[in-house]
Chains A and B, each alone.
Chain A
Amino acid sequence: MRFDRLWRGRLLRSAGALTVMAGLMLGAPLVEAKTFRMAFQGNLNTLDPYTINETFTHAMNGSYYEGLTRRGPDLTIIPGLAERWELVEPTRWRFHLRKNVKFHGGEAFTADDVLFSAERIRQPNSDLKARIPADAQFVKVDDFTVDVVLKTPNPILIADWDTFYVMSKAWTEKNNASEVVSAKATTPGFTTLNANGTGPFSVVSHQPGVKTVLKANPGWWNAAKKDYNIDEVVFTPIANDATRVAALLSGEVDWADPIPPQDQERVNSSPTTSMLAGPETRTIYLGMDQMRDKLVPPAEVPGDKNPFKDVRVRKAMFLAIDEDAIASRIMRGLARPSALMIDPNLVDKYGKDFVRPKSDPAQSEKLFDEAGYPRVGGAQGTRFTVGLDCPNDRYVNDAAICQAVIGMLARVGVKVVPIIQPRAQYFAKILAGGGYNSNFYLLGWTPGTNDSHNVLTQIVGCRDEKGSGGRGVANVAGYCNPKIEELAQKVLVETNTDVRAGLVRDAWKLLVDDWGYIPLHQQALAWGISKKVKMAQRPDNIVMLYHVQLAD
């Protein structure tokens, strides 16, 4: 044993010396691996690309998985695993796949992988069902050509396919991982912890909630034209705002998101760090369950009714909330109050026509009274009690916003019980996987297509109880308006931009008049970066690791 260890030590030492000597002899400087260290407020809960439809997960998964299409730094759609595509006829799309592409595990990429992924993403457990219309058929023409056959024309079919990542059929089946891991699952599946994509990076190790390490993939099909110079990525979740900011300031990480509004000045004034800020297309909003006849616990409503089914109650809730105060105080001006459930800049022509009604607690109280929910027990009494589901590590100052909302509603006599949780538990509870178990919640949404139609179908579109079929899959509130459904259908196929803009405006008008949701604001992007880093920032908050340049 001792001899063994002695020998190993000697061997190692001489090997080390040899390397150093070789380096000196060749005159080549010993290049240190460039590591990009990043900290986000939440965990990377899953590597399975279909478990949860959430921006940060997509961003990370998008550095080792790839879709048929990609989006560039300016959000334009560019070819990904599909070299090119064409419309053979209005209901038949043809995709020509890239040849000589290999997965990290060495499997060759072919049409079978696309067909497999298209089937997998539409499984009941998938949170990305809406990426592909339920009745779309994927047909293999040859090994590198796939046709997508639709029932009805869909000009924006591929608008959010940049996050429909293609998995290897052979690898997934070999590891018995064909079934999508549900967001609600309590034990991780194989695909939760392992990934095998075609992308610019591959996963070295993944410890959920602790650390994820990626390394550059030298065999990437686009390696010749790559726009990054980092060799390694280390991701660590840091939930506490102050700790995350401190990690950035001290140089422990090169990228931190989000930097809370109150600390942005500090980050900017440091000689080593700066803010990378810009408008984000994410809308933060409150939803109220309008589907169930009786609210889920915790709730106490006179007569055990669902108060949110009454439009007067919804309007009263809306008017009770002082968004201007939230934007100026909690967000410190780094949020734009929104009248719509979408960034008005993404609404053609009429986006700016909508104005957010000012908060009016007096009228709110009157509406509650009219709707039959008087204060019980005097002028300070409670009208009804509901729970508010809220994440504390997903959006900028999310828990503080929820607390403010609780105070504002208390002032008009609605008692709100806070259910503030980390985003893993939060999403598992309120989304399809948890049976939409919420009566009042705070959520944020970025339309993957940068278009109203996405919001009108996925958040405003009617859903059944389980959200199956993909329609209204993120419509936790269960809001449903047949007239908007009809308009959304027309919006999808309308090609005349003026007519389409009018249809979109009409749909939004219907939702606003119905007080169906309470949009709050669009938050600003708030990345803090080291001054050594050069990277592109996309308004949908997708971090593109393959556009990161790190100076020495």
Chain B
Amino acid sequence: MTVVHPTAGRSLWRSLVDSDMLHAFLRSRLTVVAALLTLTYLLAALLAPLIAPTNPYDTASLSLLDSSLPPAWSAQGDPKYLLGTDDQGRDILSTILYGLRISIGVGVVSVALAAMVGIALGVVAGYVGGRVDAVIMRLAEVQLAFPAILIALFLDGTVRSIWPLLKQEDIAFTVIVAALALDNWAKYARTVRGSTLVEKNRDYVQAARVIGLRPIAIMWRHVLPNVLGPVLVIATINFALAILAEATLSFLGVGFPPTKPSLGTLIRIGNNFLFSGEWWITLFPGITLALLVLAVNILGDWLRDALNPRLR
């Protein structure tokens, strides 16, 4: 009871400032830029309804007469539409902002869902072992055998055929998130199981077992915090992949309805107008998507390096 942990007296903030991680972070300029960019995207997505000039999802406000206008700085441009308009007269800038909401929303929720399921199953499989481990890991392997896009297409098709048409607009988000989460849980489960196998034979776990803690408590309080490092890295990379997967699905036309274009949908629409020289419909959302994924990936890379002592 009298033993005090050496860092117990210092605030969390203090320990963060002193940590190697922050140091490494500040030293890499690229990482700082990536973090700032990600932050900007997050803010833009969060505040889209406030900062977007128009609401592109309000079909009543669209006018065909404003369709296919080039960006404001070109000769035929309209100052009202900074980045131009698409074939239905939607403001590209506003659609990108609203599309970001969808992209980031899908990324965050699907990754959180997949991570939760994957970590829980991974810890249990690794700690309990035996038959439970076998069942969970075989399930994960079956899961990994199916390409992600295929599962998403399959799920989307099934749900669409059984769900009332009137409500389909509302469930598009849920379906995509569920599909992507289903695609990814196995990766977490496998990684976490591996780390758990290592951790469970460490002395502190053995000690906890000796003093009679229940397995649930050991897994939750002792094993879990020590296996989370790699998970953070996978989560960041998967976040970027999920955003791309959503764009791919929407590009293929199974994601969001055409009246609510996400970044992927917008790129698909623009793809049809590339030959006619209307490059702005596809270029701006394309750049936005590419930068977002790049920034998140750089962050993920940095996190991997920072958490891996051997790479330091």
A406 touches B275 (CB 8 A): no
Instruction: Fill in one digit per residue for A243-262: 1 if any B CB lies within 8 Å of its CB, else 0.
Output: 00110010000000000101
A213 contacts the other chain (CB 8 A): no
Q: Which residues of A contact B64 (CB under 8 A)?
A: 322, 325-326, 329-330, 404, 407-408
Interface-side segment among B46-54, B137-145, B161-169 = B161-169
Q: Could you list 7 further interchain pairs (A-B, Cβ under 8 angstroms) beyond the known A262-B275, A418-B258?
A: A242-B272, A242-B273, A246-B275, A262-B68, A387-B165, A400-B88, A407-B60
A240 contacts B272, C-beta separation under 8 Å: yes
> Across the interface, do A263 and B275 meet the contact criterion of CB distance under 8 Å?
yes
Residue B132 is within 8 A (CB to CB) of chain A in the complex: no
Contact B59 A265 (CB under 8 A): no
In the assembled complex, B248 has its CB within 8 A of some CB on chain A: no
Q: Indicate if the CB atoms of B278 and A262 lie closer than 8 Å.
A: yes
With A242-B272, A329-B67 as known contacts, state yes or no: A417 contacts B166, CB within 8 Å: yes
Known: A266-B276, A300-B166. A407 touches B62 (CB 8 A): yes
Whether, in the assembled complex, A500 has its beta carbon less than 8 Å from a beta carbon of chain B, the answer is no
Interface string of A465-500 (1 = CB under 8 A from B): 000000000000000000000000000000000000
Question: B258–A297 contact, CB under 8 A?
Answer: no
The 6 closest A-B pairs by CB, nearest first: A298-B166, A262-B276, A298-B165, A410-B60, A325-B64, A410-B59
Within 8 Å of chain B (Cβ to Cβ): is A419? Answer: yes
CB-contact partner of B88 in A260, A263, A403, under 8 A: A403
Instruction: Give Cα A260–Cα B269 distance, bound, in whole angstroms.
Output: 13
Q: Does A380 contact B (CB under 8 A)?
A: yes
Interface residues of B, dominant DSSP: loop
Which B residues are CB-close (under 8 A) to A417? 165-166, 168-169
Query: Does A241 lie at the interface of the complex (its beta carbon under 8 Å from any beta carbon of B)?
Result: yes
Main secondary structure of the interface of A (DSSP, over half): helix
Query: Which one of A242, A245, A322 has the highest number of Cβ atoms from chain B below 10 Å of its Cβ?
Result: A242
B308, chain A: closest CB distance, angstroms? 43
Which residue from chain A places its CB closest to the CB of B58 in the assembled complex? Answer: A410
B258 engages A403 (CB within 8 Å): yes
The answer, yes or no, to whether A420 is at the interface (CB within 8 Å) is yes
For window 265-294 of B, CB contacts with A under 8 Å fall at 271-276, 278
Q: Once the chains are docked, how many angstroms separate the CA of A400 from the CA of B67?
A: 11
CB closest residue in chain A, given B166: A298
B257 at the interface (CB under 8 A from A): yes
B273 CB contacts on chain A under 8 angstroms: 242, 262
B65 at the interface (CB under 8 A from A): yes
Q: Supply 10 A–B pairs (Cβ within 8 Å), ascending by A.
A: A245-B275, A262-B273, A262-B278, A263-B275, A329-B64, A330-B67, A387-B166, A403-B259, A408-B64, A419-B165
User: Interface residues of B toward A: which range?
Assistant: 20 to 34
B87: contacting residue among A246, A265, A330, CB under 8 A = A330
Kindly list chain A residues whose C-beta atoms are within 8 Å of the C-beta of B274: 242
Min CB gap A348→B, angstroms = 34
Per the bound structure, the CA–CA distance linking A486 and B167 in Å amounts to 43
A418 touches B166 (CB 8 A): no
Alpha-carbon distance between A300 and B165 when the two chains are bound, in angstroms: 11
Within 8 A of B (CB), among A383-405: 385, 387, 392, 399-400, 403-404
Q: Does A411 contact B (CB under 8 A)?
A: yes
- Report the minimum CB–CB distance from A97 to chain B (whole Å): 47
For A300, the chain B residues whose CB sits under 8 A away are 166
Partner of B276, one of A265, A297, A408: A265
Is B166 a contact of A266 with CB atoms below 8 Å?
Answer: no
Q: Chain A, interface size: which category?
A: 35 or more
**B67 surroundings in chain A (CB, below 8 A):** 329-330
A399–B60 CB distance below 8 A: no
| Interface hits, A293-339 → B, CB 8 Å | 297-300, 322, 325-326, 329-330
B259 and A418 contact, CB distance less than 8 A: yes
Q: How far is the CA of A41 from the CA of B253 in the complex (A)?
A: 16
Of B65, B164, B272, most buried by chain A (CB within 10 Å of CB) is B272
Minimum distance in angstroms from A433 CB to a CB of chain B: 17
Interface centre among A265, A322, A418, A420 (most CB of B within 10 A): A418
A242 partner residues in chain B, CB cutoff 8 A: 271-275
Provide the A30-43 mask, 1 if CB < 8 A to any CB of B, else 0.
00000000000000
Is the pair A385, B60 in contact by a Cβ cutoff of 8 Å?
A: no
Complex: A245 Cα to B273 Cα, angstroms: 11
Q: Give Cα A319–Cα B274 distance, bound, in whole angstroms.
A: 33
Residues of A contacting B276 in the complex (Cβ-Cβ under 8 angstroms): 262-263, 265-266
User: Is A325 within 8 A of B166, CB to CB?
Assistant: no
Among B63, B164, B166, B272, contact of A260 (Cβ-Cβ < 8 Å)? B272
With A260-B272, A262-B278, A329-B68 in contact, is A380–B169 under 8 Å at CB?
no
* In the bound complex, CA of A329 to CA of B66 (Å): 9
In the complex, chain A residues 404-460 whose Cβ is within 8 Å of any chain B Cβ: 404, 406-408, 410-411, 417-420
CA–CA, A410 to B62, complex, Å? 9
Q: Using an 8 Å CB-CB cutoff, how does the interface string of B226-260 with A read, 1 for contact, 0 for none? A: 00000000000000000000000000010001110
List B contacts of A399 (CB < 8 A). 258
Contacting pair B259 A406 (CB below 8 A): yes
Q: Which of A254-287 contact B (CB under 8 A)?
A: 260, 262-263, 265-266
CB-nearest residue of chain A to B257: A418
Which B residues between 166 and 187 are near A, CB-CB below 8 angstroms? 166, 168-169
Of A245, A249, A262, A420, most B-chain CB atoms within 10 Å: A262
Chain B residues lying within 8 Å of A330, measured Cβ to Cβ, are: 64, 67, 87
Cβ contacts under 8 Å, A298 to chain B: 164-166
Q: Residue of B at shortest CB range from A239?
A: B253
In the complex formed, the residue of A with least CB distance to B274 is: A242
A404 to B63 alpha-carbon distance, docked (Å): 8
Bound-state Cα–Cα, A410 to B58, Å: 8
